[in-house]
Amino acid sequence: MRRQKYLALKTTMSFLCAAMISSSVLAAEKTLFNQLVERAQGEMVKAKGRLSILLDLSAKEVMPVVKAFQKDFPFVKDPAYTRMNRTEEFQRMILEAKAGRPPEYDIGHAQFEAWTELRDAGMFVKPPFLYQQLVKALPSDWGSLDLRAIDPSGYYLAASALIRIIAYNKNIVPANKAPKNLADCLDPAWRGKFLYSTRP
């Protein structure tokens, strides 16, 4: 789990200054990652090494990942972390963005229910390259990135949507009967027997 979060955070760092890179700068896929890191380093100099992070995880979960991240990217001197995990907070952020007051975070997380509204409020910046290109340019020791995590419209990378699980009581449900995916949960046999947080 920590490695997946680290990969998502490291990859997001690579996108940090993507909107400021002109398409003429983008060369072969193998150098794309290095170009983005160099540009991010320049932006960190301007920001005096401060990197502002907004996620929905606890600081206890995030800060070890951030510390490991700093070892790979030592030009990030002063990471500041804010936790936002309540629907009301995201709704307020959307209203602020629509009013022309977007939050000032370098790396952010958004509940999937808010993606469309945040995009329409101008919160997502589409980079001048395809994320699929950058995936090919990531260091080999980072592991692979599931391409389903890439927004089909090219606006964002889903950092945690692909690590959801179905938990079940093994004392009640035999392993061979347990649902393997959300479609399995539609079986009438499970009616009234499972919980799902819709976060309305």
- The tens digit of pLDDT for each residue in 64-79 reads 989 998 998 899 999 9
pLDDT at 29: 52
Scored b (16 or more CB within 10 A) or e, 161-180 reads eeeeeeebeeeeeeeeeebe
Report CA-CA distances (Å) from 122 to 38, 93, 110, 136, 186.
Answer: 26, 12, 13, 28, 36
Q: What pLDDT score does 55 carry?
A: 87
Mean pLDDT over residues 109-128, rounded? 79
**Which of 11, 2, 20, 43 is closest to 133 using CA atoms?**
11
Helix H or strand E segment including 108: strand 107-108
pLDDT of residue 197: 64
More confident residue, 15 or 150: 150
Q: Give the bridge partners for 82, in sequence order.
A: 54
Reported as a pLDDT band with limits 50, 70 and 90, residue 162 is low
Q: Where does the pLDDT of residue 20 fall: very low under 50, low under 70, confident under 90, or very high at 90 and above? A: very low
Q: What is the structure's pLDDT at 24? A: 41
pLDDT for 122 equals 80
pLDDT at position 16 over 90:
no
30-44, 68-82, 105-119, 174-188: segment of lowest average pLDDT: 105-119
Q: Which of 103, 53, 104 is nearest to 76 (CA)?
A: 53
The span from the CA of 49 to the CA of 179, in Å, is: 47
Assess whether pLDDT exceeds 70 at residue 17.
no
CA distance 76 to 72: 9
78-101 pLDDT per residue, tens: 999 999 888 888 888 888 888 888
The reported pLDDT for the residue numbered 163 is 67
